[in-house]
Copies of this chain bind each other. A is one copy, B any other.
């Protein structure tokens, strides 16, 4: 663990911004109290690696605020991101004790953690947790399969448009709005992180973003602040039909 890590005191679950979407979403008051008793918060800075692939994992956690990525790396250094974690997303697998991926904070990050053993025990006598975790895992599986289509069959321009659509959609859903018309958000990823997601080089990412800007599909202020003037137009550029390919 890095020196930058800052333990925090734990606010009550009732006030939690991810209460209704996280692994605890279905829990009753008493179940929540049990979780409350074993939870602790940790924060990380943008760029930090929280977990290294192969490390012993003795906790599981939910993202409270910020964004993180899961990445896999080949021996020669080629890197592929395989998961994009937004607030309410879950990290770690009950029953497994070494991490299969690197987990990297791409923005400042606050995590709600549970030591694995107590969490597993609690899960054993709290079906609501397992049920919610199954739901979330099925959603992640759908998202992973959507990525497989993007990685395998889309052009560089479509890949960028797809990523912007996915990020825009998730940012919108954090504010409980449907993504349509004009969307404004901050990209939580560097060009390199985007490249790692899309199976591209950072140069190609940069070129395609410039092209989308030139063509009026997106507007940029600074490098990270993005405006989508017309979300449907972006969806067309992504190669999906207008009603959106992403499930969940």
Q: Is A183 an interface residue when CB atoms closer than 8 A count as contact?
A: no
CB-contact partner of A138 in B131, B135, B137, B142, under 8 A = B137
Q: Is A108 an interface residue when CB atoms closer than 8 A count as contact?
A: no
Least CB separation from A152: chain B residue: B199
Q: Tell me the complex Cα distance, A240–B149, Å.
A: 22
Taking the closest CB of chain B, its distance from the CB of A201, in whole angstroms, is 11
- In order of increasing CB-CB distance, the 10 nearest A-B pairs are A152-B199, A82-B145, A144-B144, A151-B151, A80-B149, A78-B153, A80-B152, A134-B134, A151-B152, A72-B149
Besides A72-B245, A74-B240, A133-B134, 4 other CB < 8 A contacts? A140-B141, A148-B148, A152-B199, A153-B199
A130 and B134 contacting across the interface, CB-CB below 8 Å: yes
A70, A76, A100, A101, most chain B CB atoms within 10 A: A100
- Tell me how many chains of this kind the complex includes: 2
Least CB separation from A148: chain B residue: B82
B72 and A145 contacting across the interface, CB-CB below 8 Å: yes
A153 and B80 contacting across the interface, CB-CB below 8 Å: yes
What residues of B have a CB within 8 angstroms of the CB of A134 in the complex?
130, 133-134, 137
Q: Is A102 an interface residue when CB atoms closer than 8 A count as contact?
A: no
8 Å CB contacts to B: which residues of A200-215?
Answer: none
Q: Is A247 an interface residue when CB atoms closer than 8 A count as contact?
A: yes
* 14 interchain pairs, CB-CB under 8 A: A72-B146, A72-B148, A74-B239, A76-B239, A78-B153, A78-B154, A79-B153, A80-B148, A95-B135, A100-B142, A134-B137, A144-B144, A148-B148, A152-B197
Q: Tell me the complex Cα distance, A146–B144, Å.
A: 10
What string of 1s and 0s marks CB contacts (under 8 Å) between A147-177 and chain B?
Answer: 1110111100000000000000000000000
Interface size class of A (residues with CB under 8 A): 35 or more
Taking the closest CB of chain B, its distance from the CB of A217, in whole angstroms, is 18
Q: Is A121 an interface residue when CB atoms closer than 8 A count as contact?
A: no
Q: Is A198 an interface residue when CB atoms closer than 8 A count as contact?
A: yes
What residues of B have a CB within 8 angstroms of the CB of A80 in the complex?
148-149, 152-153
8 Å CB contacts to B: which residues of A122-143?
Answer: 127, 130-131, 133-135, 137-138, 140-142
Q: Is A191 an interface residue when CB atoms closer than 8 A count as contact?
A: no
Taking the closest CB of chain B, its distance from the CB of A51, in whole angstroms, is 15
A199 and B151 contacting across the interface, CB-CB below 8 Å: yes
A198 and B145 contacting across the interface, CB-CB below 8 Å: no
